[in-house]
Structure 1
């Protein structure tokens, strides 16, 4: 039984498993697993990330993939990192991340919102059987309010059931990026069986590094009159908010 989103092939190459399959078809991935895979590579360059922006250049196929990384802007206190995910020479997803060298700001820390009610107070999210395989089944979903097939704002908890890469421990940051792209899905304002609401990007800002297994999203989606939407989320771990996410959405009737 496969226990990870990806199998390591060596030399920064990975084989996608069926756990990466998104809800739109058997040949393309949900953006969560490849986002986590690129973050894993960025964390191999530097130990923490303060902001990561992904650009979706095309569908990520369920296939063998290659990861490349670089330090775009070295520095003593702040550095800009980049990573790319490709298949047979075609780049499908890129990421750029800021790393900031930490310091003790405990004396001035503050400004965060309230913590979400804990996962133990949430109920299993209802997912229809015909949508329940692949990535959706590889993550445990709990709902405080709303969810994938309940249009409108949502507060949910999520926890990957499998590792990012087989044979390697998954860090809390990787877990966060494995699920945070789903903020637009759980808070969708449209019936996704009748409408497309596809994100072209994902930006996550972290004011502290997450801990633990569960990631919470207090998410909402706004749709304008011209086919463009924005999904935003306050992102939590069990101790409270850790950052925010934002996604631009391409909205069209099917």
Structure 2
């Protein structure tokens, strides 16, 4: 992308953010891809929680196609606590809630007397791919704002994809990029990456997404290993394992509406 915006979002006042072209959905240039709003909601929620707690799960409900217009974020604590905390946030556009997120934060503590083996994913390929071109689609903001390096998949519908990603721009202009934001910006791409049918002809819509995190990534690169399964009644589900070069970060789950365009 030769002329990248400064970030996915520009601050536009108290709790208001203006989306840039980098949030653009491949299906509607006036709408946002689900990844950036998910990361934005998590970022704003995270700022209301002390450093002694870490986000362990986020569930996001996409109530309508997300307009690519300025949005206000409203945050409410549903279950305060020192060990666990449940928080809800709404992305409000034109006085209507477009996205709702609920997060569980869990307090960090001493290292347990046991260790989970970290199995690193395959090495990062040397040559980047242009996912938007591989899909046979015109350039679109979200696809260009991320560097994609496929190990498997990406060249057509297969039901499985394995890809390294690197987010090219900050989530919010003027703010340092976090590992949490890197992970959530790409998490909602899992169903598109692992599509089982040609996405030019078939819709694969996740009305909700849940990401459960073991930890936040170290470094710039996030790896997704995604698989989509279809039922015989027009539904599907995508699961993705998320990793960094050191090993597993967490898991993504998306139920799907599958329909011919």
Which TM-score band applies after superposition, normalised by the shorter structure?
over 0.9
Q: Is the 8 A contact 1:151 1:187 kept in 2?
A: yes
State TM-score, norm by structure 2.
Answer: 0.92
1:117 to 122, 125, 144: 122
Which residue of structure 2 lines up, in the alignment, with residue 140 of structure 1? 147
1:167 to 170, 174, 193: 174
Secondary structure of residue in 2 paired with 1:49: strand
| 1:99 shift after superposition | 0.6
> Residues of 1 paired with 2:200 and 2:39: CA distance?
26
| 1:133 shift after superposition | 2.3
Deviates more, 1:126-135 or 1:38-47: 126-135
Which residue of structure 2 lines up, in the alignment, with residue 16 of structure 1? 19
Q: Is the 8 A contact 2:62 2:100 kept in 1?
A: yes
User: Deviation per CA, 1:184-225, whole angstroms, max 9, x where unpaired?
Assistant: 111110110110010011101111222211111111001100
Which residue of structure 2 lines up, in the alignment, with residue 99 of structure 1? 105
Q: 1:31 to 1:3 in 2, by over 3 A?
A: same
Q: 1:225 to 1:34 in 2, by over 3 A?
A: same
| 1:158 shift after superposition | 1.0
Task: Count the aligned residue pairs.
Answer: 253
RMSD: 1.6
Higher strand share: 1
Unaligned runs of 5+ in 1: none
- Paired residues for 1:239-254 under 5 Å: 239-254=246-261
Q: Is the 8 A contact 1:21 1:134 kept in 2?
A: yes
Secondary structure of residue in 1 paired with 2:217: coil
> Residues of 2 paired with 1:218 and 1:167: CA distance?
31
Which residue of structure 2 lines up, in the alignment, with residue 73 of structure 1? 79
Unaligned runs of 5+ in 2: none
Secondary structure of residue in 2 paired with 1:169: coil
Which residue of structure 1 lines up, in the alignment, with residue 192 of structure 2? 185
User: Deviation per CA, 1:44-68, whole angstroms, max 9, x where unpaired?
Assistant: 0124200100011011111111111
| 1:25 shift after superposition | 1.4
Q: 1:162 to 1:148 in 2, by over 3 A?
A: farther
> Residues of 2 paired with 1:195 and 1:226: CA distance?
14
| 1:132 shift after superposition | 2.5
Secondary structure of residue in 2 paired with 1:4: coil
Q: Is the 8 A contact 2:17 2:71 kept in 1?
A: yes
Secondary structure of residue in 1 paired with 2:161: strand
Q: Is the 8 A contact 1:149 1:186 kept in 2?
A: no
> Residues of 2 paired with 1:227 and 1:111: CA distance?
38
1:44 to 44, 47, 58: 47
Higher helix share: 1
| 1:122 shift after superposition | 6.4
> Residues of 1 paired with 2:59 and 2:128: CA distance?
31
> Residues of 1 paired with 2:60 and 2:246: CA distance?
26
1:197 to 177, 190, 204: 204
